Structure 1
Amino acid sequence: MSDSPASFRSRIDRLSAPTAAKTVLRDIGALQVLIGLLMLIPFVVSLLYGEWYSAVSFLIGSGVTALVGGVTYKLCEDAPEPKRHHAMIVAALGWLVTAAFGAVPFIVAAYITPEGVLNSFIPAGADYARSSLLNFRDPLHAFFESVSGYTTTGLTMSVHEPSIGHGFLWYRSQMQWIGGAGMIVLSLAILRQPHGTAGISLYRSEGRDEKLRPSIAGTAKAIWKIYLGVTALLAVYLAAATFLVQPGYGIENTIFDALNHAMTGQSTGGFSTLDNSIAGYGSYAMELVHIPAMITGAIAIPVYYGAISERDIREFTRDPQVRLLFGMFVVGVIGLTAFLARWVGVPYHGDPIGYVGRVATSKAFRDGLFQFISAQSTTGWQTSAIGDWVPGGVMFIVFGAMLLGGSAGATVGGIKILRGYILARGIGWEVSRSFLPEHAIEDLRIGDRIFTAEEANDEIRAAATLAVAYLVVLGLSLFVLLAVLPSEFTLADAIFEVATAQGTVGLSSGITGPGMPAVAEILFIVQMWMGRLEIIPILVLISSLFRR
């Protein structure tokens, strides 16, 4: 007797579930092999600086990660190529698994490094006596640091960065640099190169759409070549500028900082080698030097590709996202300066336009310039105590910069300028259509592309769906944080912190740290994860758990 259709589907579901799992595990395993091998780079850095215990930690982390990934890959090597939903699950789980293995060196080093060695990492004259490496004896802190690194967020449990040693400073920067262009894109460029829809699905699972070359493997390689090239140029620029501005800083320190800040600037990650981020230089000139390193990361990689392939620098000015980005910089810096001038000028009511008033305005412009660009680019380098700002300044930087972020196709977080632009153009398009005759046809122009009515509706719907999902997750996260937040923090602080976590910005109002509630720490981990992958892959993963 033949099976009924329902029974037949049930049998197929039972057979296909393990096959789908093998497909996902195969690609995640391949990714871990690559990540494990890359851990050998900070291993070498640790050896160069004589940080033997850190080197052992990276060697253990590398071996464990590559071994588990390699075994998983071999066991599932015959799995079929991923379909679209498989690719989404690979992205969602792959980033979590990578972050989990990425935490291993932190935990190992925190336990095996002797106290005397830990103390040697603390800079001479520092006003603290405890290495921040000890914070990673808590596995949750280590996992948080790894998630923050790979998602290019920049929130950190390394309260005093220099006290963790050169090897781990490099490792943190390397995580952000890898996560900036995308781990799966890197894997497609180096390891697995599936053809057809499988490669396209994996490529798009990290939030990318535009193809630079005919093949996905070619596109992935092109992205990483451009990314590496711009980072190398940034490193040269930062080293030269630092040497000119602070010649007494030392060649070794200059080169090390330049390489690390080039990686975390281009990835818009924001980890730093200094206490107090870029403010650690104590120099306005050094703050100005690092502004271009944030801007380059906020520009879409396809724009660089167009300028290089066409040999025309005007590709940057033709791109609507670049024009909007710089326009928002100008307006945002002026607006934030106005708020901050009121904040720094509060003690000086008697002299609003005299010498003290000018000093206050100068300080406001200095902070407003750097912090708005840092927030809009979602880099997260910090030069000001944001927790001390007036609420208006905090809210301005949240709604004026952090929610939207930089260009789609760049390494930034947030909703992205392109989606905001599509929604704004869509609203104007809908309004203008109301004044046309009933059967008139009006296409929608977005940048250089012209969309039919049907195509325009699809673009607007996709942008609106992501924006609404983003804001819903942000609102729910705010309620969770408010439930566990210590009383000394304000509502503005809470809004800022959930926005910086989900937007992968990395600026902090003072909430994030080793002493934060565990619930808040887990919340931020989830937000960083969802924000980097733009929510949809995580929703696909959750949906798959409730399907056969």
Structure 2
Amino acid sequence: MKLNTRIIIHILGLLLLCNGSFMLLAAIASGIYKDGATMEIMLAAIVTMLFGMMAMFYTRGHKKEVKKREGYIVVTFGWIVMSISGMLPYLFSGAIPSITDAFFETMSGYTTTGASILDNIEALPKGILLWRSLTHWIGGMGIIVLAIAILPLLGIGGMQLFAAEAPGPGGDKLHPRITDTAKRLWLIYFGYTVLETLLLKFAGMSFFDAINHALATMSTGGFSTKNASLAFWNDQPLIQYIVILFMFLAGSNFVLSYFALTGKVQRILRDEEFKYYLGFVVIFTIVVALGIYFRADVPVSDFHPMVLGEVESTIRHGLFQVVAVITTTGFVSADFTSWTPFLTVFFFGLMFLGGSAGSTAGGIKVMRHLLIIKNGILEFKRTLHPNAIIPVRYNQKTVTEHIVYNVIAFFVLYMLLFIIGSLVLGLLGLDFVSAVGGSASSLGNVGPALGSLNPVSNYNSLPAAGKWWCSFLMLLGRLELFTVLILLTPYFWKKT
């Protein structure tokens, strides 16, 4: 079947228009703060919107139908096109003059990875800092989910786009019409962002810092306006507790937030993934807090123990870093790689966990781990009773073999890509710890890694090829592997 290239270009043009509109917000902020970058950001917005309008005008007579193949192409190339256009504010303003660095920073933003090449974040114009945070927020709930809320206005169905952007189990819809689902998700996402901004402002952040950190938190991104990230506010526990709460919410299934807001609390309490997600956070926090507390050589300056006491401070930092890594937000309150060798390896393992399905978090996701473990346990029973039909059950419902096979294939592919990613980074000159840390962090959209890419460092030391490679891994991880990799298979492009 012939590809509907006109609809692909048309939707990409729509995405560019959206991107340019968000740039205008950054330009307005730049003008308000008089940071000297207003015209450059405005020019980037105009150029982006101009290309978007040209693409839409050229394809105005398109056939309004999006099939699976077009959906996969739109999603993958949508992220790439948005990242290319998203570089323009950095390049035009001179904040990041290198194309390689600008692309890395932008891809890290849209994929909500939070890995940065910037050495002095606080020296950047405020309009650029806001744009940097907005790339997180746009990518968090999904550029395509935003687009399919608008597509009906153009007479275009968005189901194939939604399926490609959010593959895998757990994609519960809130409404039979996919566009209504997208709108509800975005309303919750927007509401949480506004609420966190207000709470952070009340807790002592400036309004500018509050809105930037709210944008980064709800997208589980991790870009901060401070060089020290959230460690800048180590002497203000309330700020860190607020961020912890919203990181946790962003890492949980947004469908559960909808149930909570509509009074269906029992649906949350019965959700198997949420119970394990909460349990993991509690148990892992206890493990980390004990590891910190009984380690005498942890720098006191990391904790400010006199604020509310050493025990509270230890628990807070343990909880903060556990939630930040599990949800792949990547905010930093201390350098967890300097605590103990055990905790360094422990946090490395957490990079593979991920948040809940249907959240803005990256990683493998708690649901996939649960299904793999359940299926593995049932294999023992199947060995003893080879003729028995013993299905995997989740939330008291039978999981189809198709989903189980999909999850196992995803896990195997994910680990294979992690190994390949590590080998490539090793080939480019990184030491073992930095290579495996950088690969796991990029693929899981975590941000901080290990070795030379540790939480208090950045990715600027990577060679140019390494930055492009990590950008590719970020895209793979954000779109959950299959959406991107299917485009690399020859049969995808065969005419049927």
What TM-score comes out, normalization by structure 2 length? 0.89
For 1:72 and 1:55, the matched residues in 2 are separated by: 26
Aligned CA RMSD, in angstroms, stands at: 2.6
- Judged with a 3 Å threshold, the aligned counterparts in structure 2 of structure 1 residues 260 and 375 are, in CA distance, closer, same or farther, namely same
For 1:106 and 1:298, the matched residues in 2 are separated by: 29
Among 261, 268, 284, the alignment partner of 1:308 is: 261
For 2:466 and 2:79, the matched residues in 1 are separated by: 20
Among 431, 434, 444, the alignment partner of 2:380 is: 431
Task: Assess if the C-alpha contact under 8 Å between 1:503 and 1:531 holds in 2.
Answer: yes
The residue number in structure 2 matching 1:287 is 240
Write the deviation string for residues 426-485 of structure 1: whole angstroms up to 9, x where unpaired: 2223333444483x544432014334xxx2x11110111111111111110101111223
Measured after TM superposition, the shift of residue 390 of structure 1 is: 4.1
The residue type equivalent to 2:52 in the other structure is G
Write the deviation string for residues 257-307 of structure 1: whole angstroms up to 9, x where unpaired: 221111111111111111210001232613333211211110111111122
Pairing 1:95-244 to 2, within 5 Å after superposition? 95-110=79-94, 133=95, 136-192=96-152, 198-207=157-166, 209-240=171-202, 242-243=203-204
Measured after TM superposition, the shift of residue 528 of structure 1 is: 0.7
Unaligned stretches of 5+ residues in structure 1: 1-12, 111-132, 244-252, 349-354
Measured after TM superposition, the shift of residue 334 of structure 1 is: 2.7
For 1:105 and 1:541, the matched residues in 2 are separated by: 29
Task: Assess if the C-alpha contact under 8 Å between 1:159 and 1:513 holds in 2.
Answer: no
1:522 corresponds to 2:475: no
Number of equivalenced pairs = 477
For 1:170 and 1:191, the matched residues in 2 are separated by: 27
The residue number in structure 2 matching 1:539 is 485
For 1:304 and 1:317, the matched residues in 2 are separated by: 12
Task: Assess if the C-alpha contact under 8 Å between 1:405 and 1:415 holds in 2.
Answer: yes
The residue type equivalent to 1:506 in the other structure is G
Instruction: Kindly name which structure, 1 or 2, has the bigger radius of gyration based on alpha carbons.
Output: 1
- Judged with a 3 Å threshold, the aligned counterparts in structure 2 of structure 1 residues 346 and 369 are, in CA distance, closer, same or farther, namely closer
Identity, in percent, stands at 29
Among 271, 275, 279, the alignment partner of 1:327 is: 279
Measured after TM superposition, the shift of residue 329 of structure 1 is: 1.0
Measured after TM superposition, the shift of residue 365 of structure 1 is: 4.5
Write the deviation string for residues 177-211 of structure 1: whole angstroms up to 9, x where unpaired: 11110001101112456779x52111111125322
The residue type equivalent to 1:145 in the other structure is E
The residue number in structure 2 matching 1:128 is none
Among 206, 219, 222, the alignment partner of 1:254 is: 206
For 1:547 and 1:341, the matched residues in 2 are separated by: 59
Task: Assess if the C-alpha contact under 8 Å between 1:394 and 1:496 holds in 2.
Answer: no
Write the deviation string for residues 92-147 of structure 1: whole angstroms up to 9, x where unpaired: 1110110000000100001xxxxxxxxxxxxxxxxxxxxxx3xx111111111111
Measured after TM superposition, the shift of residue 524 of structure 1 is: 1.0
For 2:245 and 2:266, the matched residues in 1 are separated by: 18
The residue number in structure 2 matching 1:419 is 368
- Judged with a 3 Å threshold, the aligned counterparts in structure 2 of structure 1 residues 83 and 507 are, in CA distance, closer, same or farther, namely same
The residue type equivalent to 1:239 in the other structure is K
For 1:482 and 1:336, the matched residues in 2 are separated by: 29
The residue type equivalent to 2:379 in the other structure is E
For 2:101 and 2:434, the matched residues in 1 are separated by: 21
Among 394, 399, 414, the alignment partner of 1:470 is: 414
Among 39, 45, 67, the alignment partner of 1:62 is: 45
For 2:348 and 2:98, the matched residues in 1 are separated by: 31
The residue number in structure 1 matching 2:6 is 22
SS of the equivalent of 1:137 reads coil
The residue type equivalent to 2:461 in the other structure is G
For 1:192 and 1:44, the matched residues in 2 are separated by: 29
Unaligned stretches of 5+ residues in structure 2: none
Task: Assess if the C-alpha contact under 8 Å between 1:162 and 1:274 holds in 2.
Answer: yes
The residue number in structure 2 matching 1:502 is 443
- Judged with a 3 Å threshold, the aligned counterparts in structure 2 of structure 1 residues 346 and 201 are, in CA distance, closer, same or farther, namely closer
SS of the equivalent of 2:165 reads coil
The residue type equivalent to 2:394 in the other structure is I
The residue number in structure 2 matching 1:372 is 322
For 2:164 and 2:47, the matched residues in 1 are separated by: 26
SS of the equivalent of 1:214 reads coil
For 2:142 and 2:153, the matched residues in 1 are separated by: 15
What TM-score comes out, normalization by structure 1 length? 0.81
Deviates more, 1:422-431 or 1:260-269: 422-431
Write the deviation string for residues 219-265 of structure 1: whole angstroms up to 9, x where unpaired: 1111111111122222222222x23xxxxxxxxx5222221111111
SS of the equivalent of 1:39 reads helix
SS of the equivalent of 1:327 reads helix
SS of the equivalent of 2:393 reads strand
- Judged with a 3 Å threshold, the aligned counterparts in structure 2 of structure 1 residues 390 and 194 are, in CA distance, closer, same or farther, namely farther
Deviates more, 1:87-96 or 1:281-290: 281-290
Task: Assess if the C-alpha contact under 8 Å between 2:337 and 2:343 holds in 1.
Answer: no
- Judged with a 3 Å threshold, the aligned counterparts in structure 2 of structure 1 residues 437 and 541 are, in CA distance, closer, same or farther, namely closer
